[in-house]
A and B are shown apart, each in its own frame.
Chain A
């Protein structure tokens, strides 16, 4: 019996296989890239302020130095108090001297507005994300100070170095089109 002749040569077979494999790879990569860049699909790391326990690790564990975690002030929740437990050390004189301030880098600026109100503004260049002010504010104030990952500084690592050590599991990925969890604007993801 006569053996059926091949339609293409061995060389042509290898070429054709390589082209198909390459094509599939490119197409697959493209599809994956499109899928990841689609609207609302991209994610970034963020802190749920209702789960955060202000342990201080955000200042130390972030790959950025200083940390990409900064204190955020939700002004609509603030009482604008003279005695701000997020600004002053417990029992300190209510004066702006460094010895009275809770913040180790003087990153909170306090300004008298009118009797009896004082405004507190965060200087993000100085803030190291230690959360001491947040702890003080949460203990006796309205909780208007809270920590957030600032995305103009965050590298959005595949695995966030802070998230791996966060004792309250407060850091997770959120949609990139809603990258901040500002108090007053949302309820805890756990509750929601």
Chain B
């Protein structure tokens, strides 16, 4: 009797177990659930350079320059010998002028008394290259093109490249424009997204254009990895094939000479590489590695004389140190170090500085106890922190540079800090909140003792020359 009941209960239980789906109430998360790509809008035809306005004239005796992203030598260090203040006067530094900007992070280039910045005019809905007097902020001319952009953590985020004759810009949707420096006369334009089927990086283009030996050098991604264009005509000089289909990152091309060979080092989405910059092999890939491959790469490569190349990125990527070597005509690259943000120097947005062989940079938020601190790491081991600004002195994603042997650091809220660069400890001299806005992430520019900085909506010029105080 009992056995029969047990057998029956067992059969009923088995039947229930077989008939019941324990995951019936669950839903699966599968790709495509977000309907990505719906409502995609075809690319508009952009008439690059069509808009222009002449607003004034410029007569300046100033000779100083900060001609591009990271300055003359691509290191964010000013060689000007003009002494700068090391503390702020009561009431803050002297503001020479203030300019309302479209929301963004575009930085300025300075050339002989003129400031050049590629702004986004939100009222006109246009990328506009603005030429402004360095000393009084008067607008000299404007040149641009209408393009409808949506706010995507701001719009603008690049720095023009300037020479005696030319100004070269690249806009949020990778429209390249070349104009005469003094007059703003339009020379040529290139819609990189259309011509090279480039995928524009998230939050728009962050790559700053490069002028080198009479050519515009642009890392396009898409149908070509890097292209060189004649600066006068825009004609293609060479193109680097993009066989691995690497994508355009926010990082900028950095010229580097190693083993007697000049190259452009690029940290792309997909990998890092060195492209021959001249000679018979111009445009050829000298070396490449896919060991470095991250979704978001904003800082540019830091190339050191001994062939080390420091690569870093945010969003948890951390950093990698490559060692370049040359055997005959061939370059080899090996990974020396690879580590997470909490293990050594890493930067999310800005590119580190090299000071006396040491690297200086502001750590990202996911760097553990060192989060948002300015750190200095040892030349032989970038995980060895020599000093940091300390738990009571944290910064944000803003820029930093060296001028007159002083460190100028901008915090997210436009607080400008002056510190003494060194390899032993952090020495802060003074700080002052210059603007009331936020997201002061645009790169700094300095020339003739005038520092140009910005928050997300306002650009200002500060007179930091000690003798003019």
Residues on A close to B: CB < 8 A? 79, 81-83, 85, 90-91, 93-98, 101, 106, 109-112, 114-118, 138-140
Contacts and interface: CB of A to CB of B under 8 A. Distances in A.
A126 to B, nearest CB: 10
Nearest to B366: A139
B34 A116 contact: no
B173 to A, nearest CB: 11
Given A81-B153, A112-B37, A118-B36, 11 more contacts: A82-B202, A85-B315, A91-B315, A96-B30, A97-B29, A97-B31, A110-B33, A112-B39, A116-B152, A139-B316, A139-B366
A97 B32 CA distance: 8
A98 B28 contact: yes
B29 A115 contact: no
Interface string B18-50: 000000000111111111111111000000000
Given A83-B295, A96-B34, A98-B28, A91 B153 contact: no
B357 to A, nearest CB: 30
8 contacts: A79-B153, A81-B203, A90-B317, A106-B27, A109-B33, A112-B35, A112-B36, A114-B39
Given A95-B31, A97-B31, A117-B150, A138 B365 contact: yes
A91 B317 contact: yes
B315 A115 contact: no
Contacts of A115: 39-41, 150
Contacts of B203: 81
Contacts of B316: 90-91, 139-140
A128 to B, nearest CB: 15
A101 to B, nearest CB: 6
A97 B36 CA distance: 13
B366 A81 contact: no
Which of A85, A109, A138 lies at the interface centre, i.e. has the most chain B CB atoms within 10 A of its CB?
A85
B39 A111 contact: no
A105 B119 CA distance: 43
A67 to B, nearest CB: 20
B361 interface: no
Contacts of A110: 33-34
Interface of B: 27-41, 150, 152-153, 202-203, 294-296, 314-317, 348, 364-366
A106 B37 contact: no
Contacts of A90: 315-317
A116 B202 CA distance: 8
A116 B155 CA distance: 12
A140 B40 contact: no
A111 B38 CA distance: 10
Contacts of A109: 33
Contact of B294 (A91, A116, A117): A91
Nearest to A85: B315
Nearest to B39: A114
A57 B64 CA distance: 57
B385 to A, nearest CB: 20
The interface residues of chain A, by DSSP majority, are classed as loop
Nearest to B318: A90
A104 to B, nearest CB: 11
Contacts of B37: 112
B313 to A, nearest CB: 10
B348 A140 contact: yes
Nearest to B341: A139
A140 B35 contact: no
Nearest to B30: A97
A138 B315 CA distance: 11
A140 B295 CA distance: 13
A83 B317 CA distance: 14
A121 to B, nearest CB: 11
B315 A83 contact: yes
A114 B366 CA distance: 30
Contacts of A138: 365
B29 A101 contact: yes
Contacts of B34: 96, 110-112, 118
A81 B202 contact: yes
Contacts of B150: 115-117
Contact of A106 (B29, B348, B365): B29
A110 B29 CA distance: 11
A96 B203 CA distance: 20
B457 to A, nearest CB: 16
A112 B38 CA distance: 7
B293 to A, nearest CB: 9
Contact of A96 (B29, B153, B315): B29
Contacts of A101: 29
Contacts of A83: 202, 295-296, 315
Nearest to A98: B29
A86 to B, nearest CB: 12
Nearest to B371: A139
Contacts of B295: 83, 91, 94
A181 to B, nearest CB: 21
A112 B32 CA distance: 10
Nearest to B315: A140
B441 to A, nearest CB: 13
Nearest to B41: A115
B231 to A, nearest CB: 32
Nearest to B149: A116
Contacts of A85: 315
In the A-B complex, the 7 residue pairs with the smallest Cβ-Cβ separation, listed nearest first, are A90-B316, A98-B29, A95-B31, A96-B33, A110-B34, A97-B31, A106-B29
A162 to B, nearest CB: 24
A139 B341 CA distance: 12
Contacts of B294: 91
A90 B30 CA distance: 18
A140 B28 CA distance: 27
